[in-house]
């Protein structure tokens, strides 16, 4: 039996999913949270409905991996570690080096670690996790799947900032984007749903989760995306600002008496977005609820979120000189009929006609009328299966 792990290590978390491949059957999945704290949480679901959770000291990612392997064996989810012949790791930053997924070698791990300059909270942790898996399943094919790879097809005019050109040449200062695995997966799925070759389609993919990004996919290739040098740019997110004027940085640092620019960036990353505007929560469900109860700032946060998504859709219609399909995915995109409606109704001039009944769904579905000039589709993303498929492809 061939088993493949899809691993998604964040700065303080590790998500895992274990598949039987090529059937794509999920055998176990779970999440380790609060890594680095002494009340870390380890959760695993297995055997179609059994679940185990424990709170324990998880000082680092190495311990998280150790717990994972201990419980896999304790719950008899796996008899023999040799059954695991594939491991796919999501990596946030691939820079300009990784234009596609790469089979992991010592050199690749070193490069992932060094790209920590672009994603200091993620890449070093991902490198640690890769080394831990190398120790435990040395014979498995390990593959690094980069969030940025899908966007390496962007043309220069879209990935370059209007900065002195040498900053790109010397320091690789440019737009890289993120969520590539998701944008890639849902755009190809959209083409399958409409039964047309992706080469013939212009698609705008809206990955709207706690982190959110929008991508223009022309003929199957990412030509522009809303996240930038880091995932801070683009639309309003749960806690991130999205686009702001860089001049606000010195201005606010002075007003707030902030000495270290990193502290300012932390505020832009962690205290802004829906949370910062509403003062209620970073979670869309909480913000919607507060708005319904009459909280004006919560309503304002919703309005700003919708407005930014609409602006990016408009931009990308211009970038591609047209669009055939708009895709919604991720937590908000997949689940919130209300936000999808607000976004699409406000840009109906382009020729988008929402079907209220079809939009009332959380499943894969076309949500526009048959007459609509532009089609909108709801597609639950599945980054994990995409990662497992990449391992299968490169085995």
CB nearer to ligand AMP: pick between 34 and 395: 34
Does 276 engage in binding with ligand AMP (CB under 6 A)? no
Burial of 112 by CB count in 10 Å (0-12 exposed, 13-18 middle, 19+ buried)? buried
Does 336 engage in binding with ligand AMP (CB under 6 A)? yes
Q: Cα–Cα distance between 331 and 309 in angstroms, integer?
A: 15
CB nearer to ligand AMP: pick between 317 and 367: 367
- Shortest Å distance, C-beta 142 to ligand AMP: 26
Cis, peptide link before residue 22, omega less than 30° from 0: yes
Please pick, from the candidates 331, 352, 383, 391, the single residue that binds ligand AMP as defined by CB under 6 A. 331
Does 181 engage in binding with ligand AMP (CB under 6 A)? no
CB nearer to ligand AMP: pick between 8 and 152: 8
Q: Which of residues 193-232 bind ligand AMP (CB under 6 A)?
A: 209-210
CA max distance for the chain: 61
> Could you tell me where the beta strands, DSSP code E, fall in the chain?
2-9, 14-21, 25-33, 37-46, 50-58, 84-91, 102-103, 141-146, 202-208, 212-218, 221-225, 325-329, 365-366, 375-378
User: Residue 181 is encoded by which pair of tokens?
Assistant: 């695995």
Active site residue 147: yes
Q: Are 115 and 144 in contact (CB under 8 A)?
A: no
CB nearer to ligand AMP: pick between 126 and 288: 288
In the bound state, the residue with its beta carbon closest to ligand AMP is 331
User: Residue 226 is encoded by which pair of tokens?
Assistant: 């809303």
Strands 202-208 and 221-225, bridge-based pairing: unpaired
- Shortest Å distance, C-beta 140 to ligand AMP: 28
Q: Cα–Cα distance between 322 and 280 in angstroms, integer?
A: 37
- Shortest Å distance, C-beta 89 to ligand AMP: 19
Does 332 engage in binding with ligand AMP (CB under 6 A)? yes
Does 343 engage in binding with ligand AMP (CB under 6 A)? no
Catalytic residue among 79, 106, 147, 218: 147
161: helix, coil or strand? coil
Q: Are 212 and 274 in contact (CB under 8 A)?
A: no
Q: Are 336 and 288 in contact (CB under 8 A)?
A: yes
Please pick, from the candidates 154, 235, 325, 330, the single residue that binds ligand AMP as defined by CB under 6 A. 330
- Shortest Å distance, C-beta 280 to ligand AMP: 12
Does 324 engage in binding with ligand AMP (CB under 6 A)? no
Which ranges constitute the DSSP H helices of 82-144? 106-114, 123-136
User: Residue 171 is encoded by which pair of tokens?
Assistant: 């320091």
Q: Near ligand AMP by CB under 6 A, which window of 56-64, 262-270, 306-314, 330-338?
A: 330-338
CB nearer to ligand AMP: pick between 68 and 284: 284
Q: Cα–Cα distance between 395 and 392 in angstroms, integer?
A: 5
Binding mask 278-307 for ligand AMP (x = CB under 6 A): -----xxx--x-------------------
Please pick, from the candidates 30, 238, 242, 273, the single residue that binds ligand AMP as defined by CB under 6 A. 238
CB nearer to ligand AMP: pick between 172 and 365: 365
- Shortest Å distance, C-beta 109 to ligand AMP: 27
- Shortest Å distance, C-beta 212 to ligand AMP: 8
Does 94 engage in binding with ligand AMP (CB under 6 A)? no
Task: Please state, in angstroms and as integers, the Cα–Cα distance from residue 184 to each residue in 3, 147, 233, following that order.
Answer: 23, 10, 20
Question: Phi then psi for 381, rounded to 5 degrees?
Answer: -80, 160
CB nearer to ligand AMP: pick between 285 and 393: 285
- Shortest Å distance, C-beta 341 to ligand AMP: 12
Q: Which residues are catalytic?
A: 147
Footprint of ligand AMP on this chain (CB under 6 A)? 209-210, 238, 283-285, 288, 330-332, 335-336
């Amino acid at each position: 039996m061939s088993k493949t792990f899809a691993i998604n290590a964040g700065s303080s978390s590790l998500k895992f999913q274990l598949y039987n491949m090529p059937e794509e059957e999920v055998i176990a999945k779970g999440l380790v949270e609060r890594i680095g704290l002494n009340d870390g949480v380890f959760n695993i679901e297995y055997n179609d409905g059994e679940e185990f959770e424990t709170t324990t000291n998880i000082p680092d990612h190495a311990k998280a991996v150790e717990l994972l392997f201990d419980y896999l064996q304790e719950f008899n989810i796996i008899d023999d570690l040799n059954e695991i012949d594939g491991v796919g790791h999501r990596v946030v930053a691939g820079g300009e080096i990784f234009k596609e997924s790469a089979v992991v070698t010592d050199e690749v791990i070193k490069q992932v670690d060094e790209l920590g300059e672009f994603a200091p909270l993620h890449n070093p942790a991902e490198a640690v996790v890769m080394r831990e898996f190398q120790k435990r399943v040395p014979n498995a094919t390990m593959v690094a799947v980069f969030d940025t790879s899908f966007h390496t097809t962007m043309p220069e005019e879209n990935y370059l900032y209007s900065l002195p050109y040498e900053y790109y040449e010397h320091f690789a200062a440019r737009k890289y984007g993120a969520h590539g695995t998701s944008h890639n997966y849902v755009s190809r799925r959209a083409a399958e749903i409409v039964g047309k070759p992706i080469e013939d389609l212009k698609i705008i993919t809206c990955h709207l989760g706690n982190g959110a990004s929008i991508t223009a996919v022309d003929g199957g290739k990412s030509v522009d995306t809303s996240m930038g040098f880091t995932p801070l740019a683009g639309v309003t997110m749960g806690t991130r600002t999205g686009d702001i004027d860089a001049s606000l940085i010195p201005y606010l640092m002075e007003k707030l008496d902030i000495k270290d620019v990193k502290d300012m960036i932390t505020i832009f990353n962690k205290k802004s977005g829906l949370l910062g505007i509403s003062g209620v929560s970073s979670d869309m469900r909480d913000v919607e609820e507060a708005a319904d109860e009459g909280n004006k700032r919560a309503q304002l946060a919703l309005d700003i979120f919708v407005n930014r998504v609409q602006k990016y859709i408009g931009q990308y219609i211009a970038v591609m000189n047209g669009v055939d399909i708009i895709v919604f995915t991720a937590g908000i995109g997949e689940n919130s009929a209300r936000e999808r409606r607000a976004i699409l109704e406000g840009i109906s001039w382009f020729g988008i006609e929402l079907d209220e009944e079809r939009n009332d769904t959380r499943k894969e579905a076309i949500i526009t009328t048959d007459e609509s000039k532009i089609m909108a589709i709801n597609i639950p993303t599945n980054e994990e299966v995409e990662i497992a498929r990449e391992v299968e492809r490169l085995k």
